[in-house]
Chains A and B, each alone.
Chain A
Amino acid sequence: MTQKITAHDVNVFYGEKQAIRQVSIDIDQEDVTAFIGPSGCGKSTFLRTLNRMNDTVASARVEGDIRLDGEDIYSKDMDVVQLRARVGMVFQKPNPFPKSIYENVAYGPRIHGLASGKSEMDAIVEQSLTRAGLWAEVKDRLSDSGTALSGGQQQRLCIARAIAVDPEVILMDEPCSALDPIATARIEELIHDLRGRYAIVIVTHNMQQAARVSQKTAFFHLGELVEYGDTNDIFTNPREPRTTDYITGRYG
């Protein structure tokens, strides 16, 4: 197993308040990793440290060592803009640009110069939308606004937008929280398909989903990483009583 991201002793503070305590975790290249834990335990916060989106929060401060392929992402030499292209993110709430569907997907490749010419760009857009399972629904209305799509379609558009940049890692923050079972199943299928090509981290509140899509699971509680291991072990044979309580629904 190759480790795509290694995090060591990470602490995150919002002002005085500590949101993440001494978290160390290695994210595998070939696996899907699920982050689970009660609301407010710091899953999103930790996820956002992995592509430095926390830089945009004025009060946030990150300590510790996080490496992507061995490179320290918080070092001075790391270019944040390129880091975020390499570590793509799908947000909890669908946030398409108020531009056409085509433009939503083409924007990333365009600013990074990934396509030379219109036909190459068309190919990237089609491929990304196909991978995100949206192509069939939108191929005749690519110039419609991305915001005119339904919530589930918007979320898949955001996924297409993220993979169009051809990142190395995709971080998904509760991508299915607003979706119906059918759209959820589509996205889970998509995660299956993308596995291996990208390292994937997914935050979810849905235990079945974590069990279905992930090979590794990390359980967070009150800012700490309580338990991390193979998804099978976590769900069938957890070591920590807190994990047991959470996945059996004794609190949450």
Chain B
Amino acid sequence: MTDRAPTDWRTDAMRRRIVRRYGAERRFRMFGLGAIILSAGFLAFLIVTMVMQGAAGFTETRVSLPIDFAAAELTVTPEQLRGDRGNLALAGAGLEGVVDGAAGAAFAQQGGAELLSDGAWLRVRDTLKANPGMLRGRTAIDVPVATDIDVAYKGDGTPEAEQVVAALGDRLSRGLNRDFFGNADATDPTRVGIWGALKGSLLTMFVTLILAFPIGVLSALYLEEYAPKNRWTDLIEVSINNLAAVPSIIFGLLGLAVFLGTFGLPRSAPIVGGLTLALMTMPVIVIAGRNAIKAVPPSIRDAALGIGASPVQVVFHHVLPLALPGILTGTIIGMARALGETAPLLMIGMRAFIAAPPEGLTDPATVLPVQIFLWSDEVARGFVEKTSAAIIVLLVFLLAMNGVAIYLRNRFETRW
């Protein structure tokens, strides 16, 4: 064997290598920066367009409607308006007809009652209940207008509607659409609300979380810490990995067959949606959880076992706290995916038209992404901005959920 010649570190070849290395490093930094700028740009674009289109969805157009309650023959006394019976009393007294009549008189040229939203008389009702004194006189009440006028006032209507808007002039005004945060789905875009879908999503996510998180974490712990390593556990591992990759619509079919078919749970209910999404989320949590548990250094386990901690104590005092941040990251990803999931929920009937917010886990409900899907499919022009507004609500929900998870993760983060 010949001796190696001493290496000369100053040759041109060496210098070129250094220059190339710097170049590679600079290129890598630039690509990385470019990728970040690109994704930040897309995100900003998405948010800006959504906010621009959706902001109008949170507002409504109102017209000032003069009504002479004294002249109208409303057989209601101010006393009857107190409490819950007021709604019934006013409906029974024919308030809707009175409002239509007032509109006919005031806006004869602009289509009369056609000008108002279907829900206009409800606004009159609520105003009356708040001020029973109005029953004895003549007042003007701001009520929501029909959807074509609403759209035209916001600047995107048909020529006929534009004319009406011009004729009404400053009798029209704009205000926050409170009903949007209190109502559920409706056929008239001026009356729809997101609260029904939001509540449906909340209930569904609640079911998903309380099922998928503990079951997923316990499965991960068992598989990592207790299960013997043999062919059966290998098989289970492969199955779980595959489960995480199964298209979500298949889970919908499974939910349809098992929860609705076999167990006879109610259709369109958050509990069924939550169960179905839990099936989908669990494998994600198991995989993330196992990786987080694997990353806990074995020396910590040895240390605890070495002073006489039992296996369960090792897991719950040492391994789980150290793995928790990783597990929570997996949970965020899984839950975010579940929150945005539409296809499997369509299969279990959550696409039905549901006009009242769900009261419980077994009430028919819909969820935000399905609501967005349904509204985006509507022909009426007024639904466009409602769709965007619903998307904003969904994104805010998502951000809030992630924010909580990130907060929790940072709290449990161990600094080594």
Contacts and interface: CB of A to CB of B under 8 A. Distances in A.
A98 B307 contact: no
Give the residue among B297, B307, B309 with the most A Cβ atoms within 10 A: B307
Contacts of B7: none
B302 interface: yes
Contact of A51 (B304, B306, B414): B306
Contacts of B305: 53, 56, 84
B299 interface: yes
Interface stretch (A28-36, A63-71, A158-166, A207-215): A158-166
Contacts, number: 67
A130 interface: no
B301 interface: yes
Given A56-B301, A58-B229, A97-B304, A81 B415 contact: no
Nearest to B297: A95
A108 to B, nearest CB: 4
B299 A91 contact: yes
A88 B307 contact: yes
Question: Which bracket fits the contact residues of A?
Answer: 20 to 34
Contact of A111 (B297, B309, B415, B416): B309
B317 to A, nearest CB: 7
B302 A91 contact: yes
A95 B308 contact: no
For this complex, into which size category does the number of interface residues on chain B fall?
Answer: 20 to 34
Contact of B307 (A56, A58, A162): A162
B307 A97 contact: no
A172 to B, nearest CB: 11
A95 B302 contact: yes
A145 interface: yes
A84 B313 contact: no
B174 interface: no
A200 B415 CA distance: 33
A96 interface: yes
Interface in A89-138: 89, 91, 93, 95-98, 107-108, 111-112
Contacts of B414: 98
Contacts of B306: 51, 53, 84, 88-89, 91, 162
Contacts of A107: 304, 307, 309, 317
Interface string B303-327: 1111111100100011000100000
Interface of B: 229, 297, 299-310, 313, 317-318, 322, 414-416
In the A-B complex, the 7 residue pairs with the closest CB atoms? A85-B308, A95-B299, A108-B307, A89-B306, A84-B308, A95-B303, A98-B414
21 contacts: A56-B301, A58-B229, A84-B306, A84-B307, A84-B308, A86-B308, A88-B306, A88-B307, A89-B306, A91-B299, A93-B299, A95-B303, A96-B303, A97-B300, A98-B300, A98-B322, A108-B309, A111-B309, A112-B308, A158-B303, A165-B308
